Amino acid sequence: MKRILFQLSMALVVFSIILTACAPAATQPAAPAQPAQTSPTSAPAPTQAEAKAPEPTAPPAEMPVSDIELWVAGRVTEAAPPPDDWAGYQIIKDKLHINLKLVMMPSTQTDQDAKVNAAAASNSLPDVFFVNRDAWSKLVQAGLVAKVDDLLSEMPIRTQTHYSDESRNKLVILDGVMYGLADPGTMPMTDALVIRKDWLDKLGLQSPKTLDDFMSVAKAFTFNDPDGNGKNDTYGFCAFIDGTGLNAAGVGPRFDWVYGAYGVPGIWNLTSKDSFQMNVRDPNYMKATEFIKRMNDEKVIDPDWPTLKKDEFRARWKQGACGMMHENFAALANKSNYKDFDANFPNGEWVPMTPPTGPEGKSADGLIIKNARIYAISQKAIDEGKGPAIARLLDWMADEEGYFLLGFGQEGVNYKLDADGYISTEGIPDKEKWTAQETQPLTQLANMVYIFSDVELKARYVAYKTQNGRTMDPLAYYTAFTKMPFVDSTGAGVINPPSNAADFVRFYSENIVQFVLGQKPLTEASWAEYVNGLDSLGAKDVEAEALKTLLSTGFVK
């Protein structure tokens, strides 16, 4: 019996080899120019010449059609997926010989992980899928995710536009092998300090340069009625505890600028192998916490900060309660957000503020953590021979046609390109514009093509006039933010949380908040006790494990 099986297998192998030999040779697509640059700040806008880049070579007409299932994280979670008659399906079928089946992933990481894990357990992972890094590393260990190093050469355009950032690629490399495609995640340096210029002018103050200045301005904003309404309804600084997980432990990134002034922003000191540790072990971390406590004691910070949610925080500044804050540029300056503030305070004006310096002259607005949207390719898909088709599809998404179709819809229908090659909606009916709520399903895959190019940024963050005729340009805020000091902490992204992460983070954060609120005395003795508490929860093991990972991925040397 075994012999017959062996003979059958061998016959199949030989037959496969013959078939493969008879198949037409795959044509390597030529690499066209890029639709735009990868750097959000320095690269020039695309030119007409760039827009007319050569297309990749189409696959031979007789090539069989491949079925590719793609699980994607949609750009607008509450909108529908692309409709059945979406132009992209037909183009992908005609030009790439691919029947694309799209599945929109759930909107939270927990739900996404549950869906991927269930599919993995039943060996029914899709061909290409969006996956969070923790789940991804487990799938790699289980052998369910394919290595992609070989595929990169089959998608030269996308490799250049999406996978040329070495530090981001490290997020998907295990033991020197690349097991995922690290698409650009969120833009770095989007959140920074801003201050109410109209309040500064009214009170005759200057933007603070040092932490002491900051406290003085905050006091004036709180107690000197900067809005002139005769009510005690303003605060020097507004914030909330933002983020979850180990890397946002403590009082969160909205207070990173305080820790930055003391040279200890974020959870980790990633400067070098020798200095690597959790920042809580640095005495400056306690001093920064003392400063936040002072802000709280002096009542210059919105007292609800420990319990506020993001929406509530944003309602506060839109309602004129805040003089300074650490905010996302788009959340602040996009018309859809700013209109409420503008309606309430037509003469109000937020301006970027250089982060104040600490006692040793240090300052940082926050951390740069380059994150990635990881797309993995299932081993099953590779085993079924779908690798080349997947590479073809991903490469098309990065070339001119795919980039504009997925990012902005159909040219002439949903957008136009102006003389400089930028996206314009002039002359497009309102309901057809790529920004209209009706057309959101057409650009659900935009996150698979966006690379923070000039074309995208200018299209997404449009300048407009405020009620009193002032020009409001969200990108001007972003540009100003990128010139502020930030500390690169991308390596923090590869540090796996400990098994008792929930307890660890809760202990870490609750104690910091209690110190700030005065519920626990903040002294050197109590701080040492706090650090000992972290050690009893395994902080030293967490550090040792983190260092090992950081060294192996090259984030710390």
Partner 1 sequence: MRTMKKSWDDVLFQVLVNLFLVSILVAMILPLWRVFVMSVTPLNYIDTKTFGIWLNPAIWDFEPYKQLLSHPSFLRATTNSAIITLGGVTINMLLTVPMAYALSNRRLPGRKVVITLVLIPFLFNAGMIPTYLVVSGFDLIDTYWAVILPGAINITNLLIMKSFFESLPDELEEAARLDGANDLQVLARVVLPLSKPILLTIGLFYLVGHWNEFFNAILYLNDANLQPLPVLLRNILLASNINEYVESGAFSSASVHAIKAASVFLTMLPMVIIYPWIQGYFTKGTLLGGVKE
Task: Please give the residue ranges that form the binding site for partner 1 (CB under 8 A).
Answer: 71, 75-81, 103-104, 106-108, 111, 114-115, 117-119, 121-122, 124, 186, 233, 310-312, 315-316, 318-319, 321, 328, 330-331, 334-337, 339-340, 343-344, 434-437, 440, 460-462
Q: At what angle do helices 400-408 and 87-96 cross, to 10 degrees?
A: 160
In the complex with partner 1, the residue whose CB is nearer, 122 or 471, is: 122
Q: Amino acid identity, residue 205?
A: L
In the complex with partner 1, the residue whose CB is nearer, 133 or 460, is: 460
Enter the tokens of residue 502.
């929930």
In the complex with partner 1, the residue whose CB is nearer, 7 or 107, is: 107
The least distance separating partner 1 from the CB of residue 339, rounded to whole angstroms, comes to 7
The least distance separating partner 1 from the CB of residue 85, rounded to whole angstroms, comes to 13
Which H/E stretch holds residue 92? helix 87-96
| Alpha-carbon torsion angle 92, 95, 97, 103, nearest 10 | -10
The least distance separating partner 1 from the CB of residue 256, rounded to whole angstroms, comes to 19
Q: Which residue has the tokens 């300048």?
A: 463
Q: Which residue has the tokens 């998907």?
A: 172
The least distance separating partner 1 from the CB of residue 291, rounded to whole angstroms, comes to 25
In the complex with partner 1, the residue whose CB is nearer, 162 or 433, is: 433
Residue 93's alpha-carbon distances to 155, 382, 444, 481, 547, in angstroms, are: 18, 20, 19, 43, 47
In the complex with partner 1, the residue whose CB is nearer, 354 or 435, is: 435
Contact 507/534 with Cβ under 8 angstroms? yes
In the complex with partner 1, the residue whose CB is nearer, 177 or 343, is: 343
In the complex with partner 1, the residue whose CB is nearer, 63 or 125, is: 125
The least distance separating partner 1 from the CB of residue 286, rounded to whole angstroms, comes to 32
**Alpha helix segments (H runs only) across 142-239:** 149-152, 156-162, 166-169, 197-203, 211-223
Q: Which residue has the tokens 């301005």?
A: 217
Tell me how far apart the alpha carbons of residues 35 and 396 are, in angstroms, rounded to a whole number: 12
- C-alpha 23 chain-centroid distance: 42
Tell me how far apart the alpha carbons of residues 262 and 265 are, in angstroms, rounded to a whole number: 8
The least distance separating partner 1 from the CB of residue 430, rounded to whole angstroms, comes to 11
CB-CB neighbours of 3 under 10 Å: 7
Residue 377's alpha-carbon distances to 129, 174, 272, in angstroms, are: 7, 15, 34
The least distance separating partner 1 from the CB of residue 385, rounded to whole angstroms, comes to 23
In the complex with partner 1, the residue whose CB is nearer, 159 or 337, is: 337
In the complex with partner 1, the residue whose CB is nearer, 70 or 258, is: 70
In the complex with partner 1, the residue whose CB is nearer, 356 or 407, is: 407
The least distance separating partner 1 from the CB of residue 48, rounded to whole angstroms, comes to 25
Q: First-to-last CA distance in the chain? A: 57
The least distance separating partner 1 from the CB of residue 231, rounded to whole angstroms, comes to 10
Contact 409/415 with Cβ under 8 angstroms? yes
The least distance separating partner 1 from the CB of residue 213, rounded to whole angstroms, comes to 26
Tell me how far apart the alpha carbons of residues 126 and 208 are, in angstroms, rounded to a whole number: 53
Looking only at the bridges linking them, the beta strands covering 191-196 and 322-328 are antiparallel
In the complex with partner 1, the residue whose CB is nearer, 97 or 316, is: 316
The least distance separating partner 1 from the CB of residue 199, rounded to whole angstroms, comes to 17
The least distance separating partner 1 from the CB of residue 515, rounded to whole angstroms, comes to 26
Contact 47/421 with Cβ under 8 angstroms? yes
In the complex with partner 1, the residue whose CB is nearer, 269 or 337, is: 337
DSSP letter assigned to residue 47: P
Contact 182/169 with Cβ under 8 angstroms? yes
Number of H helices, E strands in the chain: 23, 19
Looking only at the bridges linking them, the beta strands covering 322-328 and 235-238 are parallel
Polymer length of the chain:
557
The least distance separating partner 1 from the CB of residue 284, rounded to whole angstroms, comes to 32
* Sign of the torsion formed by the C-alpha atoms of 435, 436, 440 and 442: negative
In the complex with partner 1, the residue whose CB is nearer, 231 or 557, is: 231
